[in-house]
Amino acid sequence: MVQARLRRAVRIVAIVGGITGVLSAQTPASPAFEAASVKPHQSADQQTMMVVQPGGRFVATNIPLLFFIRTAYRLQDDQIVGGPGWLNSDRFDIVAKADAGATLQQLPPMMQALLVDRFRFVTHHDTRELPVYALVVARSDRTLGPQLRPTACPSADGPASPTLAAVDLSPTCATIKTGLGTLTLRGTPMSQVLQFLAPYVSRVVLDRTGLDGRFDLDLAWTPEQLPSRTPGAQEPARSNADGPSIFTAIQEQLGLRLQSTTGPVDVLVFFNVAPTTEN
């Protein structure tokens, strides 16, 4: 599972705000996209992208549905319970149009409504006791490491959240990149930092840092294993073959530390999900 997550670099040119609430198939979240096209990804181009474009247009290319669910609910992988294997293997191209007055804060509920409408998505929330990592500040003086710093990027949510029709987020301030032993985030709240760290440590990560605001992060480590490759393909290069483990890198580069513990975790449990009909 972790190897599959490391297989492709992901560039997301939209930072989606947090969401709350429980989704049901009978009462889709509101607001919803005015129109949407969902098709299986069939292009030879394997770049993965999710972007909000001016004019209220939302585009996701080569996206596994599991990634779309994680983004819509702001969850980590271990918080999604059940569901068929194709959630992480089948990939989709989504083009949707939002109302001109919709804001970035309303994007996750619109994504949830799309899941209900096109994938007959039915779930419920539950709380389970799971092994987790608690992310804490490592230093007693609470200084951060050199690769974690408050961002100069403007906020993309809050009372002054721009409408999707008028959104103009520069790539520098709205970028998330993951690669083999690298993670780069710009203008990102700690909740999203946790979401992108979790797949690399194979546990839910809980925020115990007490850090508010948004951050820029540049993390580099040596993965314990390289992802599998097709026969004849060149072995991917590590970012630093003699570099630190991700646990050491988090402490040395970010000034944070992962503490192993157990705790109650909110999870999303599947009742139903079905492949969409191409449209």
Alpha helices in 95-234 (DSSP H): 107-119, 190-201
| Among 127, 106, 93, 81, residue whose Cα is nearest residue 18 | 106
Please write the tens of the pLDDT for every residue from 121-172. 988 999 999 999 999 999 999 999 999 999 987 665 555 566 766 665 555 6
Contact (Cβ atoms closer than 8 angstroms) between residue 52 and residue 107: yes
Please write the tens of the pLDDT for every residue from 176-216. 777 789 999 888 889 889 988 998 998 999 999 999 999 99
Q: Is the pLDDT of residue 28 over 50?
A: no
Q: How many CB atoms lie within 10 A of CB 156?
A: 24
- What is the reported pTM? 0.66
Report the mean per-residue pLDDT for the chain.
Answer: 79
Residue holding tokens 């970028």?
175
Q: How many CB atoms lie within 10 A of CB 208?
A: 16
Contact (Cβ atoms closer than 8 angstroms) between residue 209 and residue 190: yes
